[in-house]
A = this chain, B = another copy of it.
Amino acid sequence: MDMAAALKRCPLFSGLQTGDLQMVASIATRRTYDRREMIFSEGDPAKGFFVLLSGKVKLYKLSPEGREQILRVLSPGEQFAEAAVFSGDRYPAFAEAMSPVAVAYFPSEGFLRLIALRPELAFNMIVALSALLRKFNALVEELSLKEVSARVARYLFDAARRSPQNPGGPVQFDLEVSKAQLASRLGTVSETLSRTFHKMKDRGILDVQGKRITILDLDGLGGLAEGLRL
Expressed in whole angstroms, the minimum distance between the Cβ of A157 and any Cβ of chain B is 14
Q: In which size bucket is the chain A interface?
A: 35 or more
Seen from chain A, the residues whose Cβ lies within 8 Å of a Cβ on chain B are 61-65, 67, 69, 71, 82-83, 85-88, 92-93, 115-116, 119, 122-123, 125-127, 129-134, 136-141, 143-146, 150, 187, 226-228
- Nearest-neighbor residue (CB-CB) of A228 within chain B: B64
A87 CA / B125 CA spacing, docked (Å)? 12
A146, chain B: closest CB distance, angstroms = 7
| CB <8 Å contact, A123 and B131 | no
**Additional pairs, 11, CB under 8 Å, beyond known A86-B131, A122-B126:** A61-B141, A63-B146, A71-B137, A83-B134, A83-B137, A86-B130, A88-B131, A115-B123, A119-B119, A133-B133, A136-B136
